[in-house]
């Protein structure tokens, strides 16, 4: 009979490994440097998981290097991810589940990224609310954060909250695991934690919790902020406060081995008054928080903040619809292809209100009209009438038609 709660020199059970396997598999993901995919792993899953548990529980586990993968950024350029092997991801999930129970209750209330029961919408809502009471904001960008984390300081931060040697041992191994680049060459990793690892977001949260969150709480407790991983917005009441606090944050990050991206970090004047010209809005998690003239009963107009879809997000979504007019399929098939994307945009960007997305949906309707023009060989007015006729009989054919009809 198999004892799923058996432990050896390290307090790791087979059940912990099995639960980690199920969690990692549900998130899918590609293979690592050993090229083992989920089909190959599942073919002999019991043997693979037993060997992994045996190594983890006996202290003889050593991770393989990560595989470098490049993805395009919305703002241009590429972001390099480090993809561990499937078995290394399962091992990381074992440690993450164990460590998260200890550190999660310690995290700051203004931290939202990669945490249970917290999401982007909560962070954006808090940022908008704080802009009502604070006319100025500091939009912080940390330069190459995941690539520049100091390993020694990271281990010190983790060790402050957790003392079990096996967790510290394996985290140290994952931090030092090298990278196999896209050309096949191997590079040692002296700083940073690879994006793509299961445990990397938790380690990043621990590092910034010590570096920034607790420091802000201790020294500037009255200054509200929102942090989603390394995306940070700090709120101030005056221009002078903003300038001073930004200087102090730069010094703090420098002490912890981090650099502020000067070109992307900025002071934003949301609703304040100043002789100097500042940006009037800032982007946060795909939204733009900006001032807006609003009619107030008895007081005429007032400038109040609101959150809308950022221009970068609009461009990114429109890129996904760029070539639909060239698709030679039926309108029903086109709707099946586009609706998952449309619903995703509606679910995320229309969480608070939907009117700010109407320009986007009008652009999509124009592209659909262009598709009708090409596919049905109709003139412009006739193609518009064709779409309107389709809407009359199938108003739910495209998910965005409930917001903006053709």
Q: Which two tokens stand for residue 50?
A: 């037993």
What is the spatial distance between Cα 121 and Cα 112, in angstroms, rounded to a whole number? 9
The answer to whether 194 and 146 are in contact (CB under 8 A) is yes
> Environment class of residue 263 by beta-carbon count within 10 Å: exposed (0-12), middle (13-18) or buried (19+)?
exposed
Q: What percent of the chain has pLDDT over 70?
A: 96
Instruction: List the one residue out of 60, 282, 312, 304 whose CA is nearest residue 173.
Output: 60
Instruction: List the one residue out of 207, 256, 250, 245 whose CA is nearest residue 223.
Output: 245
The DSSP result for 353-380, as a single string, is -SGGGHHHHHHHHHHHHHHHHHHTT--H
Q: What percent of the chain has pLDDT over 90?
A: 74
Q: What is the pLDDT of residues 88-100, one digit of tens each?
A: 999 999 999 999 9
State the average pLDDT for the chain: 91
User: What's residue 77's pLDDT?
Assistant: 67
The answer to whether 238 and 272 are in contact (CB under 8 A) is yes
What residues are paired with 304 via a beta bridge?
292
Q: What is the pLDDT of residues 135-159, one digit of tens each?
A: 999 999 999 899 899 999 999 999 9
Say which DSSP state 263 is in: T
The answer to whether 268 and 290 are in contact (CB under 8 A) is no
What is the spatial distance between Cα 360 and Cα 317, in angstroms, rounded to a whole number? 9
User: Would the pLDDT of 352 be above 60?
Assistant: yes
User: What's residue 184's pLDDT?
Assistant: 84
Pairing of strands 78-83, 66-72: antiparallel
User: Given pLDDT bands bounded at 50, 70 and 90, which one contains residue 40?
Assistant: very high
Residue identified by tokens 């060459």 is 185
CA 67 to chain centre: 20
Q: Which two tokens stand for residue 301?
A: 């107009």
User: Given pLDDT bands bounded at 50, 70 and 90, which one contains residue 329?
Assistant: confident
The answer to whether 137 and 233 are in contact (CB under 8 A) is yes
Q: What is the pLDDT of residues 238-264, one digit of tens each?
A: 999 999 999 999 999 999 999 999 999
Q: Which two tokens stand for residue 33?
A: 């440097």
Residue identified by tokens 């007019």 is 325
Say which DSSP state 112 is in: -
What is the spatial distance between Cα 296 and Cα 285, in angstroms, rounded to a whole number? 29
What is the spatial distance between Cα 97 and Cα 162, in angstroms, rounded to a whole number? 13
CA dihedral 124, 69, 311, 271 (to 10 degrees): 40
User: Given pLDDT bands bounded at 50, 70 and 90, which one contains residue 1?
Assistant: very low
User: What's residue 300's pLDDT?
Assistant: 66
User: Given pLDDT bands bounded at 50, 70 and 90, which one contains residue 81?
Assistant: confident
Q: Which two tokens stand for residue 299?
A: 């007081």
The 282-284 sheet, strands edge to edge: 282-284, 287-296, 300-309
What is the spatial distance between Cα 197 and Cα 206, in angstroms, rounded to a whole number? 15
Q: What is the pLDDT of residues 145-204, one digit of tens each?
A: 998 999 999 999 999 988 888 889 999 999 998 899 888 888 888 888 888 899 999 999
CA-to-CA dists, residue 338 to 300, 363, 364, angstroms: 43, 14, 10
Q: For the chain, what is the radius of gyration of the CA atoms?
A: 25
Q: What is the pLDDT of residues 291-310, one digit of tens each?
A: 988 776 666 677 889 999 99
User: What's residue 274's pLDDT?
Assistant: 82
Instruction: List the one residue out of 110, 305, 127 whose CA is nearest residue 220.
Output: 110
Residue identified by tokens 């293979």 is 31
What is the spatial distance between Cα 112 and Cα 125, in angstroms, rounded to a whole number? 11
CA-to-CA dists, residue 90 to 53, 85, 178, angstroms: 10, 9, 18
The answer to whether 58 and 10 are in contact (CB under 8 A) is yes
Say which DSSP state 323 is in: T
User: Would the pLDDT of 56 be above 90?
Assistant: yes
Among 73-82, 205-214, 223-232, the least confident range: 73-82
């Amino acid at each position: 009979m198999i004892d799923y709660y058996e432990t050896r020199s390290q307090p790791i059970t087979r059940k912990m490994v099995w639960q980690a396997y199920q969690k990692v598999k549900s998130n899918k993901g590609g293979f690592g440097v050993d090229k083992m995919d989920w089909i190959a792993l599942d073919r002999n899953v019991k043997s693979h998981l037993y060997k992994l548990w045996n190594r983890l529980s006996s202290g003889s586990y050593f991770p393989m290097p990560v595989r470098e993968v490049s993805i395009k950024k919305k703002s241009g350029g590429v972001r390099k991810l480090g993809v561990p092997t499937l078995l290394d991801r399962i091992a990381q999930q074992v440690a993450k589940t164990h460590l998260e129970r200890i550190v999660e209750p310690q995290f700051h209330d203004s931290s939202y990224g990669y945490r249970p029961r917290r999401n982007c919408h909560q962070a954006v809502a808090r940022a908008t609310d704080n802009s009502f009471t604070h006319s100025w904001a500091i939009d912080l960008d940390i330069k190459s954060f995941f690539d520049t984390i100091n390993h020694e300081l990271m281990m010190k931060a983790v060790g402050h909250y957790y003392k079990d040697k096996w967790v510290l041992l394996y985290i140290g191994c994952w931090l030092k695991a090298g990278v196999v680049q896209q050309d096949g060459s191997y590079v040692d990793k002296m700083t940073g934690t690879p994006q793509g690892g299961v445990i990397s977001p938790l380690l990043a949260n621990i590092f910034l919790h010590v570096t920034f969150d607790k420091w802000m709480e201790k020294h500037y407790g009255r200054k509200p902020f929102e942090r989603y991983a390394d995306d940070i917005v700090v709120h101030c009441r005056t221009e002078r406060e903003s300038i001073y606090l930004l200087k102090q944050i730069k010094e703090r990050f420098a002490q912890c081995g981090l650099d502020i991206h000067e070109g992307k970090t900025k002071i934003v004047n949301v609703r304040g008054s100043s002789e100097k010209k500042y940006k009037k809005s800032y982007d946060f998690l795909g939204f733009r928080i900006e001032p807006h003239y609003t009619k107030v009963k008895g007081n005429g107009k007032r400038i109040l903040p609101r959150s809308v879809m950022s221009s970068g997000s609009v461009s990114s979504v429109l890129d996904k619809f760029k070539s639909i007019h060239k698709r030679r399929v039926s309108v029903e098939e086109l709707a099946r292809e586009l609706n998952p994307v449309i619903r995703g945009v509606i679910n995320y960007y229309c969480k608070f209100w939907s009117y700010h997305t109407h320009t986007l949906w009008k652009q999509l309707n124009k592209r659909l009209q262009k598709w009708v023009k090409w596919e049905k060989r109709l003139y412009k007015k006739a193609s518009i009438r064709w779409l309107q006729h389709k809407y009359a009989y199938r108003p739910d054919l495209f998910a965005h038609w409930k917001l903006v009809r053709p």
